[in-house]
Structure 1
Amino acid sequence: MTDEPLISRFDALLCDLDGVVYAGPDAIDGGPESLNRAAEMGVPVMYVTNNASRPTAAVAEHISELGAPTRESNVASSAQAAAKLLAGRLPEKAKVLITGTQALADEIKAVGLTPVWSQSEEPIAVVQGFNPKLGWEQLAEAAYTLADESVLWCATNTDLTIPKERGIAPGNGTLVAAVAAATGREPIVAGKPQAPVFHEAAERAKSQRPVVVGDRLDTDIRGAHAAGMESIEVFTGVDTPETVLRACDQERPTYLLGNLRELYKAYPDPQVSREDNSDQEVTATCRDAIAVARDNGVRIQAPENSLDGWRAACAAWWALHPDAKTPTDPEVTWEAAR
């Protein structure tokens, strides 16, 4: 472990919003001031969001109102990614059925395509994004249109859940799944966890050493892997230390933080060792925490649920199971530190 703060390792933060900066209308404790501090240090902050329901200008305004002044150009959205994807596959002015908000329609129009709202207008593509007011009629309209196999279907994102101020709520993925169930089709996905939206954000920041900051393994962290970037899992949103430990190899974050304030502390990189190059047991230490992974479980010597204990446990378990293509299910045992 060095004395340098973790943030010194990067030249840009590619930051998720829901569950990292805010939950619903309210800022997450430590979020805005930590992001302001990054900007003051000369580390650009780009906001990469799968929420396609609001214009990027409104997203930037919301972030600014919460105490982290930012510009619209610092917001990269899945709606923009979907519009760019469709523009590359469809002829100019092609009609696209909107299953989402006016903000999504505006992004489609901005790339030279024609947003429409009904099958009767003969669209040749459907784009589906989150809209909290979306109802059965709109989903049915998409299903009717997609009965024609030649119609291209693009989803801005497939997040199954979204963190709100009252808890975890259904996300766009649940609405996409309803249309998929009705049509027997699967959409092309434009936003996270696909790589283009992260590459776009890094390019805007002129970054060579970006890090993805998120609260979800299936979108933020998997997307970082797809983009070839390091990642930070922050435990202020959807996923927990338990789900991170069980993660498949493509959803394992590089760093684990309790909140964004920890960006400005030295990071205790876990140290991994194997006795006699054993492939049956791996030990990892993280400061005073010790984790031993073997067989189907991990034994952790640390105060129960301490973050260093989880860091050590992840390092040991992942080293023992480096190529887990599906989530694992280790038995976790906590012991008092000796």
Structure 2
Amino acid sequence: MAAAPLRSVPGTPDSARAFRCLDGLRSLAEKGRFKAWFLDQFGVLHDGKQPYPGAVSTLEKLASHGAKMVIISNSSRRASVTMQKVNSLGFDASLFVGAITSGELTHQSLLRRDDSWFASLGRSCIHMTWSDRGAISLEGLGLQIVKNVEDADFILAHGTEAIGLPSGDVLPMGLEDLELILKRCVEKKIPMVVANPDYVTVEARALRVMPGTLGAKYEKLGGEVKWMGKPDKVIYRSAMMMAGVDDARACVAVGDSLHHDIKGANVTGMESIFITGGIHADELGLKSFGEVADSAALQALSCKYNAHPSYVLPSFMW
């Protein structure tokens, strides 16, 4: 199982623009070049409802070749919830060293406040959260959830379906109404913490709007945003510590988002595998699972997002 020839965009350095098309992960795993594998979950392992074809067995085969695997996800939920999720979908959670999520990083930052930026935050917040997907608990963080912008010190964005109420309940709300709240918050000049930087995610073969969309809107309005998770190198460094690997060159990140997964790997100095059947499938003109993307379309999309994978693969397959 060999990689396809190196592809690169004319007029640019191969090291920055080149990628290899794979028909599976076996060749990389058998070479043993990468000690640590950092796997995105939505769009790579599963679609939120079920695992992708072959993903469970591929994970098992990777583990059998000695790969230290860490889930690295922009989920706004805690790491423990992520492990429960993959286990419930049929993956053997014991095959992972652990999980690092943007939600976990956010929770720990709000709890410890050992960073100067978080130390300066107040305790009252507008909480943008989930409704149908299940609200996110802020228990133990000592925060006061407020409904009125005038009473808020900052915005905490975990979801895009509702705002939290002081009672602990949630008030379902559409994106347009959430954006109206953002406009009022900009006028007050309060900061925003985005606990999930993704713009969209794959869910049951469709795309769902994620908190990153709200963060991008807030920045466009002139607001200050603290992005937690990919593509920031902090989450990748945390995964390296968890895997016990201190050399980024011995790591590979696998993801379906050029802007988040692949860009994050680029800035951290590690190689990456771009799964084309995830959130970019429509942009690449892919109609069915496992369909191979056109090389020219891949090059154009990589340049559009200024994110350059080392390898390209239709799905997480052996």
Decide: shared fold, TM above 0.5. yes
Does residue 34 of structure 1 match 2:63?
Answer: no
The 3 A distance-change label for structure 1 pair 50 and 127 is same
The separation in 1 between residues aligned to 2:241 and 2:86, in whole angstroms, is: 21
Where structure 1 has 5 or more consecutive residues not aligned to the other structure, the ranges are 263-338
Residue aligning to 1:310 = none
**What is the deviation of 1:139?**
4.9
The 3 A distance-change label for structure 1 pair 76 and 131 is farther
Give the counterpart of 1:148 among 188, 206, 214: 188
**What is the deviation of 1:229?**
1.1
1:214 partner letter? G
Q: Deviations over 1:289-313 (max 9, x none)?
A: xxxxxxxxxxxxxxxxxxxxxxxxx
Residue aligning to 1:77 = 101
Residue aligning to 2:126 = 97
2:184 partner letter? Y
- Per mean C-alpha deviation after superposition, the further-off stretch among 232-241 and 68-77 is 68-77
Residue aligning to 1:63 = 86
SS in 2 for 1:169: strand
**What is the deviation of 1:32?**
1.7
Residue aligning to 2:13 = none
**What is the deviation of 1:25?**
0.6
Does residue 18 of structure 1 match 2:30?
Answer: no
SS in 1 for 2:126: strand
The separation in 1 between residues aligned to 2:202 and 2:85, in whole angstroms, is: 16
The answer to whether the 8 Å contact 2:274/2:313 transfers is: yes
SS in 1 for 2:90: coil
The 3 A distance-change label for structure 1 pair 113 and 13 is farther
The separation in 1 between residues aligned to 2:173 and 2:97, in whole angstroms, is: 31
The 3 A distance-change label for structure 1 pair 70 and 216 is same
**What is the deviation of 1:90?**
3.1
**What is the deviation of 1:170?**
2.7
The structure whose RCO (Cα within 8 Å, separation 6+) is larger is 2
- Per mean C-alpha deviation after superposition, the further-off stretch among 15-24 and 166-175 is 166-175
The separation in 2 between residues aligned to 1:158 and 1:55, in whole angstroms, is: 15
Question: What does 1:234-273 correspond to in 2, within 5 Å?
Answer: 234-239=275-280, 240=284, 241-242=293-294, 243-246=297-300, 247-248=302-303, 250-262=306-318
Question: What does 1:260-299 correspond to in 2, within 5 Å?
Answer: 260-262=316-318
SS in 2 for 1:260: coil
SS in 1 for 2:93: coil
The separation in 1 between residues aligned to 2:311 and 2:186, in whole angstroms, is: 41
- Per mean C-alpha deviation after superposition, the further-off stretch among 54-63 and 80-89 is 80-89
The separation in 2 between residues aligned to 1:169 and 1:30, in whole angstroms, is: 24
The 3 A distance-change label for structure 1 pair 161 and 250 is same
The separation in 2 between residues aligned to 1:197 and 1:10, in whole angstroms, is: 18
Structure possessing the higher radius of gyration over alpha carbons:
1
The answer to whether the 8 Å contact 1:234/1:256 transfers is: yes
The separation in 2 between residues aligned to 1:74 and 1:60, in whole angstroms, is: 8
Does residue 114 of structure 1 match 2:143?
Answer: yes
**What is the deviation of 1:50?**
1.2
**What is the deviation of 1:115?**
4.8
The separation in 1 between residues aligned to 2:155 and 2:54, in whole angstroms, is: 39
SS in 2 for 1:18: coil
SS in 2 for 1:22: coil
Q: Deviations over 1:177-222 (max 9, x none)?
A: 45556x4325221111111111111111112422100011111000
- Per mean C-alpha deviation after superposition, the further-off stretch among 245-254 and 85-94 is 85-94
The answer to whether the 8 Å contact 1:126/1:146 transfers is: no
The separation in 1 between residues aligned to 2:137 and 2:122, in whole angstroms, is: 13
1:28 partner letter? Y
The separation in 2 between residues aligned to 1:73 and 1:93, in whole angstroms, is: 35
1:184 partner letter? G
Q: Deviations over 1:39-93 (max 9, x none)?
A: 23332211111121x4433321221122222269712111122344553223397
Does residue 173 of structure 1 match 2:227?
Answer: no
Aligned-residue CA RMSD in angstroms?
3.0
The answer to whether the 8 Å contact 1:98/1:105 transfers is: no
1:118 partner letter? K
Residue aligning to 2:252 = 211
Residue aligning to 1:226 = 267
Give the counterpart of 1:6 among 28, 47, 59: 28
The separation in 1 between residues aligned to 2:269 and 2:239, in whole angstroms, is: 14
Where structure 2 has 5 or more consecutive residues not aligned to the other structure, the ranges are 4-25, 163-171, 285-292
**What is the deviation of 1:258?**
2.6
